[in-house]
């Protein structure tokens, strides 16, 4: 996202996520990559995804609270993100989280990481997409580091499980929680609270 204060509309954000999704689909269509939707079983994969998302956000939340200067930088980035999402309903938040989970994991882990794994070492295959993932989420060095580490965690999880749905659901659920807190309950992060934080399908 741009460092400027220009507000991106819901349509613009959806289009950017759809573009990522389409690129991932094109790569999978034209490059020989073996992948599977489920790694263990639907119930196990989804349970693991939910558990991992909750644990991941718990760690990130602790970083926000006790991360010192690193935390301060992340909170500044959060304030800049709120400009784009502050009036979103839960429906819009869910749409963005779902598209981000599907599109970004399809491109970075399932397509790019799987393709690299056929040509380079597994370490580089995991690290390179994570680095690109971090760069595309660059708001500050702190945010870049956090996003890159998230990319590494997703990459390792995908490598070990070979479950596309595990990382997709994990990413989507994490984004749903993270965006939900930023938009609906910003006071939990020390940001100014919203008076209309309990609306569900408002401003759809």
| 162 within a domain of the structure (yes/no) | yes
Average pLDDT, the chain: 88
Q: Which domain holds residue 178?
A: 10-189
pTM: 0.89
How much is the average pLDDT of 93-105? 95
| 56 within a domain of the structure (yes/no) | yes
- Alpha-carbon span 153 to 147, nearest angstrom: 10
For position 57, what pLDDT does the model report?
95
| 5 within a domain of the structure (yes/no) | no
pLDDT level of residue 78 (50, 70, 90 thresholds): confident
- HEC assignment per residue over the chain: CCCCCCCCCHHHHHHHHHHHHHHHHHHHHHCCCCCCCCCCCHHHHHHHHHHHHHHHHHHHHHHHHHCHHHHHHHHHHHHHHHHHHCCCCHHHHHHHHHHHHHHHHHHHHHHHHHHHHCCCCHHHHHHHHHHHHHHHCCCCHHHHHHHHHHHHHHHHHHHHHCCHHHHHHHHHHHHHHHHHHHHHCHHHHCCCCCCCCCCCCCCC
How much is the average pLDDT of 100-107? 96
For position 175, what pLDDT does the model report?
95
N-to-C CA span, the chain: 22
Residue 5 scores a pLDDT above 80? no
| 194 within a domain of the structure (yes/no) | no
| 2 within a domain of the structure (yes/no) | no
pLDDT in tens, 139-163: 889 999 999 999 999 999 999 999 9
Q: HSE of 66 in the Cβ direction (CA atoms, 13 Å)?
A: 3
| 178 within a domain of the structure (yes/no) | yes
Residue 2 scores a pLDDT above 50? no
| 122 within a domain of the structure (yes/no) | yes
pLDDT in tens, 7-52: 778 888 899 999 999 999 999 888 888 899 999 999 999 999 999 9
Structurally, how many domains does the chain consist of?
A: 1
How much is the average pLDDT of 91-96? 94
| 111 within a domain of the structure (yes/no) | yes
Query: And the tokens for 118?
Result: 């056929």
pLDDT level of residue 166 (50, 70, 90 thresholds): very high
For residue 118, CA distances in Å to 28, 39, 103, 122, 129 come to 14, 19, 21, 9, 14
Q: HSE of 134 in the Cβ direction (CA atoms, 13 Å)?
A: 22
């Amino acid at each position: 996202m741009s460092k400027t204060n220009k507000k991106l509309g819901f349509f613009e954000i959806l289009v950017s996520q759809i573009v990522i999704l389409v690129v991932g689909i094109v790569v999978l269509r034209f490059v020989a990559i073996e992948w599977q939707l489920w790694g263990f079983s639907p119930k196990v994969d989804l349970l693991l995804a939910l558990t991992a998302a909750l644990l991941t956000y718990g760690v990130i939340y602790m970083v926000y609270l006790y991360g010192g200067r690193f935390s301060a930088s992340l909170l500044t980035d959060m304030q800049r993100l709120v400009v784009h999402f502050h009036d979103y309903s839960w429906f819009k938040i869910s749409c963005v989280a779902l598209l981000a989970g599907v599109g970004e994991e399809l491109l970075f882990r399932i397509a790019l990481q799987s393709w690299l794994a056929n040509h380079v070492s597994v370490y580089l295959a995991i690290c390179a997409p994570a680095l690109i993932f971090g760069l595309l989420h660059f708001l500050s060095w702190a945010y870049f580091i956090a996003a890159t580490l998230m990319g590494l965690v997703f990459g390792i999880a995908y490598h070990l499980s070979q479950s596309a749905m595990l990382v997709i659901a994990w990413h989507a659920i994490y984004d749903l929680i993270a965006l939900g807190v930023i938009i609906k309950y910003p006071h939990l992060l020390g940001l100014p609270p919203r008076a209309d934080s309990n609306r569900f399908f408002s401003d759809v």
